[in-house]
Amino acid sequence: MVEPERLDALVNAGKNGDVTAFSQLYALYGKKILNYIFRLTGSREEAEDLMQDTFVLAFRNLHSLKENAKFQSWLFRIAQNNVFQKYRGKMPQIESIDAEGSENPVVAELASGSKGPEETILSDELERVVQRVISELPEKYRQVFVLSAIQKLSYQEISEIVGRSLASVKSDIHRARVEVRDKIKEYLGDNYGMSNLH
């Protein structure tokens, strides 16, 4: 979380053409933007290209940002518009999960307890499942889910980025959360909740 005073100073400097100040904004928000675009496109290469486009566009149009405090929402909106423009208004779809039942390695791993309760990092396979479940979400839900669950933005900020009402965002995030839970549960079966990761 960037201190409001620092953010204000950096944005003002950027508005006056200070590239060094803008590079600090890039260092602060680059990872968030990269990962947001990655969740929307599913491609690291694409995400890196679009992230660069986002920051170049942001620098060129920084003067149009009225409230410096809303820099983050504004930047996410540029990133999102870049993705939409690239994919002509539709977010890319990523292939669905095809593994089922107890034969999958995640289920076997959870059932055998080979990863102990102390394990705080998801196994590669379980992580892939979660990644896939997120990527399978309908466009409308994926957008708000990523902003909320991965980027940890407030509902108000998400509402500003996606241009929908707060009530609609709240409802969509809940539906997305339930859908993600149901799909992971479906994949893990009775083993859902067995791994003591929390």
Partner 1 sequence: MECRIYTDSLTALMDGELTPKEEVAIRTHLSGCPSCHEEFESLRYSYTLVEKVHELEFEPNSWPQIQSRIASSPRPSFFSRLKLPGLWIPIGAFGALLLLATSLMMYFPEDNTSRTRQAFKSYMQERQRDMVSRGLVLPSDRGNSVFVHYNPFAEPTATPKGNPFRSER
Nearer to partner 1, 7 or 88 (CB): 7
- H or E segment to which residue 105 belongs: helix 105-112
Cβ 148 to partner 1, closest distance in Å? 6
Cβ 15 to partner 1, closest distance in Å? 9
According to CB under 8 A, which residues from 125 to 164 bind partner 1? 126-127, 130-131, 134, 148-150, 154-155
DSSP letter at 102? G
Helix (H, G, I), strand (E, B) or coil at 137: coil
- Give the Cβ contact number of residue 105 at 10 Å: 14
Window 12-51: contact mask with partner 1 (x via CB under 8 A): -----x-x--xx--xx--xx--xx--x-----x--xx---
Please compute, for residue 64, the number of CA atoms within 13 A of its CA located in the half-sphere on the CB side: 8
According to CB under 8 A, which residues from 64 to 123 bind partner 1? 64, 66, 120-122
Query: Which phi and psi angles does 162 have, rounded to 5°?
Result: -85, -10
Nearer to partner 1, 35 or 88 (CB): 35
Whether 148 contacts 187, CB under 8 Å: no
Q: At what angle do helices 19-41 and 71-86 cross, to 10 degrees?
A: 50
Residues that contact partner 1, how many (by CB under 8 A) = 50
CA distance 42 to 174: 23
Q: Which two tokens stand for residue 17?
A: 């053409």
Q: Which residues bind partner 1 (CB under 8 A)?
A: 17, 19, 22-23, 26-27, 30-31, 34-35, 38, 44, 47-48, 52, 55-56, 59-61, 63-64, 66, 120-122, 126-127, 130-131, 134, 148-150, 154-155, 170-171, 173-174, 177-178, 180-181, 184-185, 192-193, 197-198
